[in-house]
A and B are shown apart, each in its own frame.
Chain A
């Protein structure tokens, strides 16, 4: 309990710190605004702001198509990517995106034009054939899935590249746009493409909403789902079909090489942020959509930069932020927790030493001199003074003329730590058959992490014993809750 309380405390302090810094940055930005405005009217920045304004008004139809397109493909890929990541199928997305390329070429050859529907159908079918090959290879040979995926990915991609180069040589002017499928060209998204994307997005969202229960059951434990008579195979194939469709609609904007990042990155980000699947899927879809929008916006500001890579960079930035500042496993919160933990343990050990010194003469004196403490801890007075100052700054002790006095809070914490230590020693010797000379070091670590509930349980099991294995008094929980005797009636 102590631990969780402190964890919450440190979390709040961490939050306060982040918010504080964030406000400082905002304030700095606010100060910059007049400067930007002063500079901006004629300068380059002003031009960019005008450009941003043009983008945000969505008046330009080309901008509208790109915005809708990137939003739709980002959301669709994010949503399906969430399932993909929890099913540990992340590499399947990569194989799928490369396997669709021959289908793009065949779809073009179908009526010798960049007809979005024909290309969509051809690419999706090619993707499904690719995944069918993967599963056939893993079922009928001893090859494992990773090898099969790598094989299918490369061979389909190679065939696709050859077909595309052949098409490029055809004397058809319209074929020029096909190379965009390799690296993506969001500006080529037209109203026809938007229609296909909207249909795919709608089908994907309806599919996930309607069959959520079955999707989760199959993703978590497919054999169990099948044993219950759930249509696991149908659900799986429908999912693979929609995954292929999502890859295909993203292809034109992001390109074969990067499209799997749209499936994996938002989902991986969401995976770090939550442990609830519905929330993971929601975050993943939102982050995917947001990455799409951000990529479209940035590429509109700087037309030299391609939209697809910018979308992927935006998604990667979200991911980087989640890795650094994630609420549970973020690197910052982990560093912070460790720092807080180390500091707390050090203060508690100082309090414990004070308690030990005061205990020698039965708490007759109110304070503990720094010299006594230094002798006890086998440290110099200087080192001990630093520890005393630290206690003072945390409201656990007062330091007056080289003498440390417990505050009520400090006295209570000291008693708790000593109690935890001695209870644990007693428990180890009595119930776990540890020799009395073995228990001290174990208790040194445990004393800082025993929760209130565990302590009560220990006291109960040990029949509220008064003496530890070394014959010293164990402060009881009920005593510690009374006003501290040292502080109240101290003779100073």
Chain B
């Protein structure tokens, strides 16, 4: 048996396709992207090595990148916190009921599997001042004229502008189901005996949630949080489909890192510069995962 499973030819045969594909389409391009990010490389010019110039320009001279960084960091912090809170609350509520649990769970998870581009367009219309919720407010008499009400997706005042806040709530709406599922999976994995023992010891339900459930799902908090953080740093679809073009164009207030990348790479065809943005994004993702796992994840308990 051991000999059979150690046969090199089979190992190579089984591993090679995935290994080659993965390396050629993901690892090699990352290396070339790192190289391009150090080059002046535009559509009509060949790549010429310029050292860290692109990165220096990014961090010192590019107001759009600064906006993108600000908004992306906001998305990350917002989604980590709100998804943790709401995901946990939903998970706790759903594990406490019997009737309809599956139904509720399936409904809340539904948007996770739907196209963000389509949902983004949907919310774009919901927040359209002329036809969306402002129209309802008008009908209720709260607004005199719908289109003169709050400009949900084009107001640009404040440090974090309104469209970004609106979209972060839409993202919460769309993805909280995923956090909920992860926490529920972990909670349902906790042995009933522990709760029974606790209740015999006079522990109330609320108490046992904080004393037993929370500590036991801590490793999952780290997993879910990393997923949220990376997901929100990569954020593109909702911005692309919800805010007006001028706000994700030059000097647009609703930039995130991914729209920076899209604009520089696709609209101005500055491939080297766009690659530099991509590499910054990569470093941030790795850093955030590392930090979350360092500070949130503790040793996992045996359940």
Q: Real complex partners, A and B?
A: no
